[in-house]
Amino acid sequence: MPLLVMKFGGTSVADLDRIKNAATKVQREVERGYDVIVIVSAMSGKTNELVGWVEQTSPLFDAREYDAVVSSGENVTAGLMALTLQEMGVPARSWQGWQVPINTTAQHSAARFVDIPRANIDQKFAEGFKVAVVAGFQGLGPDGRITTLGRGGSDTTAVAFAAAFGAERCDIYTDVDGVYTTDPRITSKARKLNKIAFEEMLELASLGAKVLQTRSVELAMRYKVRLRVLSSFEDTDENSGTLICAEEEIMESKVVNGVASSRDEAKITLVTVEDRPGISAAIFAPLADAGVNVDMIVQNISEKDYEDHPGSVTDMTFSVPINQVERAKRAMEEAKAAGHIAYDELVVDTEVAKVSVVGIGMRSHAGVAAKMFKALADENVNIKVIATSEIKISVLIDRKYMELAVQALHDAFGLEAA
């Protein structure tokens, strides 16, 4: 039998009516001849509620007990989904992570997959069961304790099962009907994509697109798992949603396929840092040790003291998530106090946003950067920092111009047209 993995997020299973709606979609795939593995999230809002209970009970909580509590939301959904399918005449059985078992590392609340043995679920399919409903977001650590995978872990669970079982496809059901050229809330011209390459989706996910969790896209790209993003709340067929697949499946890609944006950025500048070999390592090693995710980096000749000491000092600018600013400042201050680095001033700008254009077509087309910069210049949007990769160009700009920049770039690259 061909096998399909279907994943339903929290909004898709928020109450019993929505669980029944999701179960109807599963039943339809069974009727088409598939064995189905269904991955479910906790009901919408339930994980936050469970986390809140843990924090109220024990502010300095035991990570093992935290995982035991917060994983329970998915267990409830899995059981209810299996019961609903049984009532519809579909042979289904629910599975918690330890029952599969989903073997993970021991890092509680941020575990990673080790392996997913097929034997137990394959046996149930052989016995005539058509659907295995698996609780997402959780696994079994080497010590026999429940682990959780971090936010968005159910997406990653779905992709991991699709890879382990050689699924024909992994369908991610959510509250949007696919992947768009940009955020439809910013411009009404945003267009749903029929197909997008793994690399493009990975860049968009890492740049702020919330449709898929980054780890799930990384895993899908590694194991060539074809993903489809589609809505739980619309009638769907085999052509619905957006297919995320290998570049080879896309006949002809546009130069730029999407514009991503993120408000949650901050810019930090270390003024008059000594310009010497090893200074970059001295700055960014403490940031890495502190768990700060540095993105864009620019090094400039410092204006201060340049006439007296040309080339001897530099300004180092980098961007970090806005919720990591204090951690970054503390890491820099401690490095300075320890004598590892020296700087005159640490300047933080939290009123910035990141805007990026992404497209696999950029590999073979020149002039993308020039076109992007001209579109922003025409709108009088000043660029503070630039970062590039093979299929991406990102700029840091004043946050108040973010929507304007997204709209201008969407128009400049003709993303409204198919």
pLDDT tens, the chain, 418 aa long = 799 999 999 999 999 999 999 999 999 999 999 999 999 999 999 999 999 999 999 988 999 999 999 999 999 999 999 999 999 999 999 999 999 999 999 999 999 999 999 999 999 999 999 999 999 999 999 999 999 998 888 999 999 999 999 999 999 999 888 999 999 889 999 999 999 999 999 988 887 667 888 889 999 999 999 999 999 998 887 778 999 998 888 876 788 999 999 998 999 999 999 888 899 999 999 999 999 999 899 887 665 554 555 557 889 999 999 999 999 999 999 999 999 999 999 999 999 999 999 999 888 888 999 999 999 999 999 999 998 888 999 999 999 999 999 999 999 999 998 7
10 is in an annotated binding site: yes
Predicted local distance difference test score (pLDDT) of residue 377: 96
Q: Backbone phi, then psi, for 40, in 5-degree steps? A: -120, 145
Predicted local distance difference test score (pLDDT) of residue 357: 95
Q: What is the pTM of this model?
A: 0.85
Domains of the chain with CATH codes: 3-175 (3.40.1160.10), 259-412 (3.30.2130.10)
175 is in an annotated binding site: yes
9 is in an annotated binding site: yes
185 is in an annotated binding site: yes
Pairs from 273-280 (Cβ < 8 Å, separation ≥ 24): 273/302, 273/313, 273/314, 273/315, 273/316, 273/341, 273/342, 273/343, 274/312, 274/313, 274/314, 274/341, 274/342, 275/311, 275/312, 275/313, 275/314, 279/314, 279/316, 279/341, 280/316
33 is in an annotated binding site: no
State which H helix or E strand residue 101 sits in.
none
173 is in an annotated binding site: no
Pairwise CA distance, residues 27 & 25, whole Å: 5
Predicted local distance difference test score (pLDDT) of residue 248: 85
345 is in an annotated binding site: no
Q: Other C-beta atoms within 10 Å of 394: how many?
A: 24
174 is in an annotated binding site: yes
211 is in an annotated binding site: yes
7 is in an annotated binding site: yes
Predicted local distance difference test score (pLDDT) of residue 403: 95
